[in-house]
Amino acid sequence: MIPYGKQDINQADIDAVVNVLKSDFLTQGPKIVEFENNLAIYCGAKYVKTVSSGTTALHLAYLAIGLGNGDLVWTTPNTFVATANAAKYCGADIDFVDINPKTYNMSVDHLKEKLAQAKKNNRLPKLVVPVHFSGQSCEMKEIWKLSKEYDFAVIEDACHALGGEYQGKKVGNCEYSDMAIFSFHPVKMITTGEGGAIVTNNQEYDERIQLLRSHGISKDEVKFKKNDDGGWYYEQQDLGFNYRLTDIQAALGSSQLQRLDSFVEKRQKIAMRYLNELKNIELPYQHPDVKSSWHLFVIKIKNRKKVYNDLKSQGIMSQVHYIPVNKQPYYGCKSLENSENYYQECLSLPIYVDLTIEDQGKVIKILGKINE
């Protein structure tokens, strides 16, 4: 069976995990800070806090900007449901901006139109969440400019895009956003099993996230609100969560991070082969400002269900990314034309670090026969 995506684990990763298992700290130890520092250096950002998943990263990032009851969040329908769900966890309302039919990312033109109308209606968003679908960054400079004009926060959902670049800089440097979040699920660019991270250049947001990810408890005596009773003393200063990453996971993350650029390079080679050898199929467009991490390779194809089933019958697992979130029964929002049209034909082909030349050749050959 050829999956659509999978992790790549080597002996160095295993050794890193085993070393932690033999150490004094399985959680809340030095490997957490080490991973966070390594990731901050890689992205070119000031602060990183790791958490238990990409979903918890979204939740804490939203809380850090003060998102609450009655606030409005806009995101793209072409994302996993967690991007929207995390806003609902905060009591916020959610709405969706249609996609660019070329990049499959949030359309800047649609965003401009929606903001102009929202201003007339006196119902502007507090937060806009662009999603870097498949590893290709959104047009962040333009979105950031609009955020200053209309006074909303910007959080990048970069779960697909670790290792990618926008305008020659690594995704996650937060030049054009308040924060960015990553996921370390096994099919993502690097893995910690499950895990996530929030990246920012804002110290206040970083400190807020640190507090909330660990039950709302502080051990920083400078911030204590009461007298320190002794070395054991701590304070719960807010209602937080247990959203921490473990040292076991962090050690795996640091080990994987050392190979991230090589992972991206391998994915780019796989993507280039698809682009060069697939015929009579609508292939993914790459914006000139972007160097994609190629988390996904998405084609558009007629008779998708038949193609999906035919590939599966021959041991090739493809996938659909995504069912538009606005059309999920829980949300039940009105249709958006571009995202609906995209969904009818999109199909993600296998792309992962150790996809062999032979297996990719099989995908290309079989897909070619099906599509004749």
| Domain assignment of residue 158, given as a range | 11-257
What's residue 5's pLDDT? 98
Asked whether the predicted pLDDT for residue 372 surpasses 80, the reply is no
Query: Which of 217, 235, 257 represents a domain boundary (last residue)?
Result: 257
Examine the domain organization and report whether 61 and 136 are in the same domain.
yes
Domain count, the chain: 2
Of 69, 64, 137, nearest in space to 103 by CA: 137
Phi then psi for 27, rounded to 5 degrees?
Answer: -150, 160
Q: Tell me, yes or no, whether 365 lies in a domain.
A: yes
Beta carbons of 244 and 213 less than 8 angstroms apart: yes
Strands 165-166 and 169-170, sheet pairing: antiparallel
pTM beyond 0.85: the answer is yes
Give the tens place of pLDDT for each residue, 206-238.
Answer: 999 999 999 999 998 888 988 878 889 999 999
Examine the domain organization and report whether 338 and 245 are in the same domain.
no
Query: Which of 257, 286, 317 represents a domain boundary (last residue)?
Result: 257
Instruction: Round the average pLDDT of the chain to a whole number and report it.
Output: 97
Per DSSP, 326 falls in state G
Query: Which of 257, 285, 304 represents a domain boundary (last residue)?
Result: 257
Examine the domain organization and report whether 347 and 321 are in the same domain.
yes
Examine the domain organization and report whether 23 and 77 are in the same domain.
yes
Examine the domain organization and report whether 277 and 181 are in the same domain.
no
Residue 320 sits in a domain of what CATH number? 3.90.1150.10
Give the pLDDT band of residue 18 (cuts 50, 70, 90).
Answer: very high
Q: Tell me, yes or no, whether 43 lies in a domain.
A: yes
The mean per-residue pLDDT over the stretch 162-170 comes to 98
What's residue 227's pLDDT? 80
Of 268, 286, 60, 71, nearest in space to 155 by CA: 60
Write b or e for each residue in 12-39: b if 16 or more Cβ atoms lie within 10 A of its Cβ, otherwise e.
ebeebbeebeeeeeeeebebbeebbebb
- The partner residues of 251 in beta bridges, in order of sequence, read none
Examine the domain organization and report whether 143 and 191 are in the same domain.
yes
Q: Tell me, yes or no, whether 5 lies in a domain.
A: no
